[in-house]
Amino acid sequence: MHESQLERGRIHSADSNVSSRLPRDEPATAHGVLEHAGDGGGKDCRGLWTKRSHRSTAARISSLWALELSGALAGHVRSGPRKAAPSQGHPVSSRSPPSKPSALRRGQTPALDIALLPVPDTRSMLNRTLPPASVSIVSAAPAEPKAGTTIHHSHPVPHTTFSSGAVNSIAHAGWTITTKKHPIFNSAEIDNASKEIQMPFPEMFFGNNAIELKHSSGFQYSISALDALRNVASIPESEHKSVQVAHAEHWTKMSLEANDQIKDVVKPYNWIYLSSYSGTLSSSLGAKFEPSLVGVDLDRLRLPEPILFYDELVLYEDELHDNGISCMTARIRVMPSCFLVLLRFFLRVDNVTFRINETRIYHEFGKSILVREYTSRAATYSEVTKKLPRSYPPGSENRLLLLDQNWVSQTLGSCSHVVCEAIAVSE
């Protein structure tokens, strides 16, 4: 037998040297550590334990064959070679073993001769339970509800949840709240939507994502990615034209020097995808949002209360040609006493500005009004970076916080624009 083949079939007995090389969380088996030559990779067979899952019947047969190999070899190593009993319907090698095992030096490992071992019965091994000492059992995660499953809950308050793939909903206290999470628009969907919204679409546009709030009285309020992009297209040019990348002035000067006769050739559009979108009133039974002194009850939201339903989704996102990020996200949580929707537009133009526009939609079950609060905050890039915590070495800054929307939101400070409205909802 070739030397490389013998090396692949070599096995180390479970002595102290082998056990010391095993990881602490993997116990040594009674027969040592074995690597099957055809198991598809892993560590070598010099005392390193290889852990893998049996993903197919072929892998299971290979593993069981390795166990048979190690069991037969244990007797060969400890008590000398013995004549193997023939398996059912499988021939045994006619090669006769030596009369006594060859002497080994201290620390030397005996080589395995595959021809001396019986061929295992794979059909019987498939029906056999693996020894617990040789198998790593990993507890499976609890199974999630299947698509299209409706669950009725009685604790902490009666409510019903529904899950069907990309659609999830909850029914509680006369309200049905639904979230829809789908993949980004493909080229055909973008071409179809571009017939109405004539502007370059964001790099990632989740046009089918939405949140729907429906009351048993007929009141409906929704948050839609398509409606958000319609709002982006309607923003006046004066509000976004002033926002330029850090090198815009230098690029403009070089362009004018090279082509002094070329003027504006690109139709201007809201390139930062600035949005003041705060939701869509689908059906209000004649009611309208009116200015209100009653805002979101922050004290109630701070109370420890179980969350019956939670979801978050992205409406669109664009990296502004590697000059920052512009995105709009929506989150909703439903508690036994109320629900809250947070719609956030986040803008970061590197070395230029930060801006956050947020809309909070709040309703307390048992009351007849729904509150909508819109806020807008902005600050220059340098103002935000000055508030970064200092780190070692002196002068360096933890700029990863600039990617954290929550940290930036707390840093921007007071709101420059606040609109609080309320609308009547029959309870």
The pLDDT tens digits of the residues spanning 221-245 come to 999 999 999 999 998 886 656 565 5
Buried b (16+ CB within 10 A) or exposed e, 131-159: eeebeeeeeeeeeeeeeeeeeeeeeeeeb
Residues 325-346 pLDDT 10s: 999 999 999 999 999 999 999 9
Residues 339-396 pLDDT 10s: 999 999 999 998 888 999 999 999 999 999 999 999 999 999 989 988 888 765 555 5
How far is residue 277 CA from its own chain's centroid?
27
262 versus 279: the higher-pLDDT residue is 279
Residues 195-223 pLDDT 10s: 999 999 999 999 999 999 999 999 999 99
68 versus 287: the higher-pLDDT residue is 287
pTM metric for this prediction: 0.63
> In the predicted model, is pLDDT for residue 173 greater than 50?
yes
Rounded Cα–Cα distance for residues 249 and 341 (Å): 40
- Of 106-110, 133-137, 207-211, 247-251, least confident by mean pLDDT is 133-137
Q: Are 81 and 73 in contact (CB under 8 A)?
A: no
Buried b (16+ CB within 10 A) or exposed e, 325-359: bbbbbbebbbbeebbbbbbbbbbbbeebbbbbbbb
DSSP string for residues in 70-138: HHHHHHHHHH---PPPPPTT-----PPPPSSPPP--TTPPPPP-GGGSPPP-HHHHHTSPPPGGG----
Q: Pick the closest to residue 246 from 327, 322, 355, 316 (CA basis).
A: 322
Q: What is the mean pLDDT of the chain?
A: 73
Rounded Cα–Cα distance for residues 31 and 20 (Å): 15
And the tokens for 112?
């395995």
